[in-house]
Amino acid sequence: MNLMHRYLSRDISQGILFTLVGLLMLFSFFDVINQLDDVGKGSYTLGKVFLYVLLNAPGHIYELFPVSALIGSIVALAGLASRSEITAMRVAGLAPRNFAFVLVRVGLLFALLTLVLGELVVPITGRSAEQMRLKATNSVVSQEFRSGIWLKDDNNFVNIREVMPDATLAGVKIYEFDNAHHLREITYADRGFHLASGRWQLEHVNQTRFDSGNRVSVVHLDRAIWVSVLNPDILSVVSATPEQMTAWNLAKYVEHLRANGQKTARYEIALWVKLIYPLGIVVMLLLALPFAFQQVRAGGMGGRVFLGIMVGLGVFLFNRLFSHMGLIYGWSPLLSAAMPTLTLFLLALLLIVRQSRKGI
């Protein structure tokens, strides 16, 4: 029995990894195509395009794991069935629950890998890729210190104390220099909001101007327009949407929002989704078991792959839809994040029990 378990685990794992590699190559190819328009801007060369794609690969792996698990396991199980190996295993006493046990064991291994990838690798490589691309194409240099984020904008140096997830700026200081590198003006604003095409609205502004003859003047404004090459896309490199934040950072940010009496629903949902997401791989594998056996009678390998893609896409959309509905209607964050996975788990369990009673 252990020999058959190892054989099944190896076959299913290979199917998942082959599918993952195929999908990763496809998505990486699309990344290369999307970046070709920027080749030649600044110092952005073809070599840096490939480096950008390589750094983004862990993020694609993280996103593609669930659908790869579904497609790969369907193909692997269908291949075993087409060679009558599943029938032989059933005759040898391998029940559907044994198949499910093997799938759960393989799924937990990949779930652990996904968790490590999403928490430790993807945040670093994703940010590094965007920083490299923006530095090469726009010559915008950024660095984070205790005082906040520092960026170079033409002859100006910009210090932003905090970039909110919606790209709102808090504590903006702009140090403007002339061509001779003399400090000409210091602007401080409590908050900044992006308007359009490089224009920002600053609120509660204090401007200190250094004129010729060592004269200093201070101007107070309720609002001012700041024209800059900076935009939310560039600032997204040094900030992150809730879906891109690690579980640890999300938990700390939720604490911060609660301490300041602010709404936390969006970030709590993102936190629970982050924690439950790896378990979705296990559910996908269980969901593949009954579908794979049904496909043996219904059609060929192309039909199985198409089925896996459609189910995977449907699960992805279902997860996103439920999260947004939970946010709109004020549902429990845990319920909003867990309900899609729980629903699919119950569906997979029902189908497995049904197939077991029929005698696969």
> What's the whole-number mean pLDDT along residues 165-179?
83
Determine if residue 231 is left, alpha or beta; phi over 0 gives left, psi from -120 to 50 gives alpha, anything else beta: beta
- pLDDT at residue 295, as a whole number: 46
CB 342 within 8 A of CB 93: no
The residue type of 288 is A
Query: CA 282 to CA 115: how far, in whole Å?
Result: 13
The residue type of 186 is I
pLDDT at 294 > cutoff 60:
no
Write out pLDDT tens, residues 275-285.
999 998 999 99
What b/e sequence results for 118-146 when a residue is b if at least 16 CB atoms lie within 10 Å of its CB, and e otherwise?
A: bbeebbebbbebbbbbbbbbbebebeeee
**Within 10 A of 200 (CB to CB), how many other CB atoms are there?**
20
CB 27 within 8 A of CB 64: yes
**Within 10 A of 327 (CB to CB), how many other CB atoms are there?**
17
> What's the whole-number mean pLDDT along residues 177-205?
88
170 by DSSP, 3-state: which? strand
* Best CA proximity match to 19, nearest among 84, 64, 55, 49: 64
- The tokens describing 275, both together, are 């924690």
CB 65 within 8 A of CB 20: yes
Query: CA 60 to CA 185: how far, in whole Å?
Result: 44
β-pair type (156-163, 199-211): unpaired
**What's CA 157's distance to the chain center, in Å?**
31
- Give 148 or 22, the one with higher predicted confidence: 22
- The tokens describing 159, both together, are 């210090």
- pLDDT at residue 224, as a whole number: 92
Q: Which segment of 45-54, 175-184, 251-260 scores lowest on mean pLDDT?
A: 251-260
Determine if residue 230 is left, alpha or beta; phi over 0 gives left, psi from -120 to 50 gives alpha, anything else beta: beta
287 confidence band (pLDDT: 50, 70, 90): confident
Query: CA 67 to CA 60: how far, in whole Å?
Result: 12
- pLDDT at residue 163, as a whole number: 77
Its sign, for the CA torsion 158, 162, 164, 169, is negative
Determine if residue 156 is left, alpha or beta; phi over 0 gives left, psi from -120 to 50 gives alpha, anything else beta: beta
Residue 225's DSSP bridge partners are 201
What does pLDDT average to over the chain? 82
162 confidence band (pLDDT: 50, 70, 90): confident
CB 280 within 8 A of CB 107: no
Determine if residue 160 is left, alpha or beta; phi over 0 gives left, psi from -120 to 50 gives alpha, anything else beta: beta
Write out pLDDT tens, residues 56-98.
999 999 989 988 998 888 888 888 877 778 778 877 777 777 8
107 confidence band (pLDDT: 50, 70, 90): very high
Phi and psi at residue 66, to the nearest 5°:
-60, -50
Phi and psi at residue 188, to the nearest 5°:
-120, 135
Q: Which of 195-199, 200-204, 300-304, 335-339 has the highest mean predicted lDDT (pLDDT)?
A: 200-204
CB 238 within 8 A of CB 145: no
CB 163 within 8 A of CB 235: yes
- pLDDT at residue 358, as a whole number: 65
- The tokens describing 33, both together, are 């195509």
Q: Which segment of 209-223, 238-252, 321-335 scores lowest on mean pLDDT?
A: 238-252
> What's the whole-number mean pLDDT along residues 174-182?
86
Query: CA 93 to CA 356: how far, in whole Å?
Result: 13
**Within 10 A of 341 (CB to CB), how many other CB atoms are there?**
22
